């Protein structure tokens, strides 16, 4: 839903304007402000307390606004200084507008990477941190456990290795298989996903970033009409979501009995 309404706003404010390139230069810094604001607010209000830093609401909002404004102004200057060739629009309509959104995609990609790390790495190292806490406390199970310092970099290294080795297959499915994406559509999907995931992380909901991103890409496709979606790919994705739940449970049972028989 967020991706759908974000892309609808882009269409009405920029692509339907009399001068789309001028409108893009005007409104893209506002979208950058929104993106940075989401990340700053959740980081300052939810994340820093876990590393021993506390801020009041006024301090968090003030610093978030300042950082977001600086980011928007800097990106605005960069966009204005870029060279745009009107002849490019003859080969591909709105080519220069998409070039502006290409700059914005860098910002939203960073926001998406932040959101992904704040949520999905926790899904992997959460059970590990609980087990390490139990081992360190000689088998005592506490209502709350502290996370060992080495677990966080371990999770970061693991997600980077997985991305580098097998991530390209998921990138191809999400990036090209569901619907045709341009920088403006990709921006709407990534901003919506980052906002959803970061808010969920701040409230403690361990949602799936990949599922959220697929939903956002679907929303962007639906903004152009259901014919813009590859329903066969979506069907396979939904089926895989359903299959992986019992498959993961069954494999966990099998591995548990194997490990128990080896060490009991």
Distance of alpha carbon 6 from alpha carbon 193, whole angstroms: 11
Token pair, residue 138, equals 């000689």
Torsion-angle region of 123 (φ positive above 0: left; ψ -120 to 50: alpha; else: beta) = alpha
Q: What does the pLDDT look like over 108-165, one tens digit per residue? A: 887 777 777 777 777 788 888 888 888 887 777 766 667 777 888 888 888 889 888 8
Given 3-state DSSP classes, what are the helix, strand and coil percentages for the chain, each rounded to the nearest 5? 80, 0, 20
* Mean pLDDT computed over 91-104: 79
> Has residue 247 got a pLDDT over 90?
yes
CA 70 vs. chain centroid, Å, equals 22
Q: Cβ contacts of residue 180 below 8 Å, gap of 6+?
A: 228
> Has residue 56 got a pLDDT over 80?
no
Q: What is the mean pLDDT of the chain?
A: 83
The band of 222, judged by pLDDT with boundaries at 50, 70 and 90, is confident
Buried b (16+ CB within 10 A) or exposed e, 33-52: bebbbbbbbbbbbbbeeeee
Decide which of 109 and 263 is more confident.
Answer: 263
How many angstroms separate the Cα of 105 from the Cα of each of 9, 26, 147, 167?
Answer: 16, 16, 33, 19
> Has residue 51 got a pLDDT over 70?
no
The band of 50, judged by pLDDT with boundaries at 50, 70 and 90, is low
Decide which of 69 and 223 is more confident.
Answer: 69
Q: What backbone torsions phi and psi does residue 141 show, to the nearest 5 degrees?
A: -100, 115
Say whether 96 sits in a helix, a strand or coil: helix
Distance of alpha carbon 139 from alpha carbon 131, whole angstroms: 9
* Mean pLDDT computed over 52-67: 82
Q: What does the pLDDT look like over 68-78, one tens digit per residue? A: 999 899 988 88
pLDDT at position 228: 82
Tokens 């609401």 sit at which residue?
57
pLDDT at position 169: 83
pLDDT at position 258: 95
pLDDT at position 143: 64
Instruction: Check: pTM over 0.85? Answer yes or no.
Output: no
Tokens 């790919």 sit at which residue?
233
Return the minimum-mean-pLDDT range out of 86-95, 201-210, 228-237. 86-95
């Amino acid at each position: 839903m967020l991706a759908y309404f974000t892309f609808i706003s882009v269409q009405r404010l920029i692509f339907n304007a009399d001068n789309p390139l001028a409108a893009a230069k005007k409104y893209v810094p506002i979208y950058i402000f929104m993106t940075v604001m989401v990340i700053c607010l959740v980081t300052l209000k939810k994340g820093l307390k876990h590393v021993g830093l506390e801020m009041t609401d006024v301090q968090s909002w003030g610093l978030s606004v300042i950082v977001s404004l600086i980011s928007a102004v800097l990106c605005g200057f960069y966009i204005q200084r870029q060279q745009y060739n009107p002849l490019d629009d003859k080969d591909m309509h709105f080519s220069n507008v998409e070039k502006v959104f290409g700059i914005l995609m860098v910002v939203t990609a960073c926001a998406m990477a932040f959101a992904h790390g704040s949520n999905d790495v926790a899904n992997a190292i959460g059970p590990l941190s609980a087990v390490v806490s139990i081992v360190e406390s000689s088998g005592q199970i506490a209502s709350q456990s502290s996370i060992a310092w080495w677990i966080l970099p371990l999770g970061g290294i693991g997600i980077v290795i997985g991305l580098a080795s097998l991530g390209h297959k998921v990138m191809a499915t999400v990036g090209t298989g569901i619907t045709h994406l341009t920088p403006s559509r990709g921006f709407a999907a990534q901003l919506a996903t980052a906002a959803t995931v970061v808010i969920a992380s701040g409230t403690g909901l361990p949602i799936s970033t990949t599922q959220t991103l697929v939903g956002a890409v679907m929303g962007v496709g639906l903004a152009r009409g259901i014919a813009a979606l590859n329903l066969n790919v979506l069907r396979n994705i939904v089926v895989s979501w359903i299959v992986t739940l019992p498959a993961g449970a069954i494999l966990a049972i099998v591995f548990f009995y194997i490990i128990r028989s080896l060490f009991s």
